């Protein structure tokens, strides 16, 4: 990973144009090629970013990031305050707590609890940025990516979005739709999921552990 702190401006051109005026920011270049620009605030979400796969061309004080969709991110450096490279190595991935891991197991055994006609293809389906909790096929044989959380918040929806971007690069899968599953899905997560075209489903952990399938409560 390369971390650069610099005074810079950033211009995005693609589905729409966006401009970040000159300011001091953190530029993060990950090993997989993802480039993200962060401010000193706003929690984890970058101001702008370009997911892999892409190409990074560095020409003196100008960095140009381009992807196969024709989108470009142009970073103009005015002053570099720090430039550090670090090898992070292979990450073991997020370890789910006991309830969340067991919830995933229960849903893998009974995917029809999420949606009628849903059938499991694989648990922990691998992508370049981590495994999708459940990869399924629906009644029409379409591919469905399912992200399972104990508490459904907006970061889980963002995570599902990133997984689907990676899955759609696999030409053997075709179109992939997303389903966000949790014991409780927060209102903000519901809105974000719907805006991304995802379904959201609330499930009862205790019901999944022991009650009859027809007593499941899905919303």
pLDDT per residue rounded down to tens, the chain (219 residues):
999 999 999 999 987 889 999 999 999 998 888 999 999 876 667 899 888 888 999 988 999 999 988 999 999 999 999 999 988 877 665 555 567 888 999 999 999 999 999 999 999 999 888 899 999 999 999 999 999 998 999 999 999 999 999 998 887 888 899 999 999 999 999 999 999 999 999 998 888 887 444 444 444
**What separation in angstroms does the CA of 44 have from each of 1, 40, 107?**
17, 10, 29
Which residues are bridge partners to 12 per DSSP?
Answer: 18, 73
Could you give phi then psi for residue 216, rounded to 5 degrees?
Answer: -65, 145
Q: Mind listing the domains of the chain with CATH numbers?
A: 2-85 (2.70.180.20), 98-215 (3.40.1350.10)
- C-alpha dihedral over 109, 153, 202, 149, to 10 degrees? 20
* End-to-end Cα separation, the chain, in angstroms: 41
């Amino acid at each position: 990973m390369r971390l650069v702190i610099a005074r810079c401006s950033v211009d995005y051109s693609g589905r729409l144009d966006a401009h970040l005026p000159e300011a001091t920011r953190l530029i993060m270049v990950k090993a997989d090629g993802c480039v993200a620009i962060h401010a000193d605030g706003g929690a984890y979400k970058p101001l702008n970013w370009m997911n892999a796969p892409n190409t990074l061309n560095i020409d003196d004080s100008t960095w140009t990031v381009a992807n196969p969709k024709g989108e470009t991110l142009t970073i103009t450096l005015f002053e570099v305050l720090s430039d550090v490279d670090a090898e992070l190595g292979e990450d073991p991935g997020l370890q789910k707590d006991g309830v969340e891991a067991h919830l995933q197991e229960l849903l893998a055994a009974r995917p029809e609890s999420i949606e009628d006609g849903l059938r499991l293809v694989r648990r922990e389906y691998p992508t370049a940025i981590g495994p999708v909790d459940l990869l399924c096929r629906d009644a029409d044989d379409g591919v469905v990516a399912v992200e399972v959380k104990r508490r459904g918040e907006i970061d889980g929806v963002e995570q599902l979005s990133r997984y689907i971007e990676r899955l759609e690069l696999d030409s053997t899968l075709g179109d992939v739709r997303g389903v966000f599953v949790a014991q409780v899905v927060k209102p903000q997560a519901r809105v974000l999921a719907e805006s991304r075209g995802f379904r959201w489903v609330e499930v009862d952990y205790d019901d999944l552990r022991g009650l009859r399938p027809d007593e499941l409560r899905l919303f």
